Amino acid sequence: MDNPQNAIQTIGDGVGALWALAIAYSLSVVGAILLIIAGWVIAGLLERGIKASLGRLPGFDQTLRVFFAKAARYGVLVIVAVMVLGQFGVQTASILAAIGAVGLAIGLALQGTLQNIAAGVMLLVLRPIRIGEFIEVGAVKGTVEDIGLFATRLTTFDGIYVLAPNTKLWNEAVINYSRNP
């Protein structure tokens, strides 16, 4: 059997190492909690700031205002999540690479949808058509009822509902019968 002094020394060393480990991780936990709180507050402030500043721009679309504000909020929250994981010693480079790969996969899967969103943004910003105008694009003809991020809602002379994808309205020539007197 070993010397009792050696056993006591080993237990004391183990308790000391355990205490140092608890202190080190408690500081990481406190730092992570502070990062989460600060990130949440900053994301909320940024979202409200973007909504307010874009709301002051005349003619800026409500849909785009909310979209940009939410995108900024979630972008900040993703950065905060990566920072919190880094606080615990997780290699963030591999996480960022995985996030990039997931973003690329989602982008490729939603390619047509993203084209519609991009076309919707261009329609809302450049305003080649406006709500209430009578337009013709290819075989689509009607009065613009709503311009969304994905599609534009039209009503024909006969009162028929038409939902045209924004890429069709953006990629083809638009005949606007209402724009000029």
First vs last C-alpha separation in the chain: 105
Q: What is the pLDDT of residue 120?
A: 85
Residues 112, 115, 120: CA angle, nearest 5 degrees: 130
Average pLDDT of the chain is 87
Percentages (nearest 5) of helix, strand, coil residues in the chain: 65, 15, 20
pLDDT digits (tens, 9 = 90+) for 7-27: 777 887 778 788 887 777 788
C-alpha distance from residue 73 to each of 34, 39, 45, 97, 151 (Å): 18, 10, 9, 21, 25
In the predicted structure, residue 1 carries a pLDDT above the cut 60: no
Distance CA 157, CA 35 (A): 57
Residues 81, 84, 86: CA angle, nearest 5 degrees: 110
Provide the pLDDT confidence category of residue 5 given band limits of 50, 70 and 90: confident
Instruction: Provide the token pair at 35.
Output: 């990062």
pLDDT digits (tens, 9 = 90+) for 36-72: 999 999 999 999 999 999 889 887 777 778 888 988 9
Indicate whether this model's pTM tops 0.95. no
In the predicted structure, residue 129 carries a pLDDT above the cut 60: yes
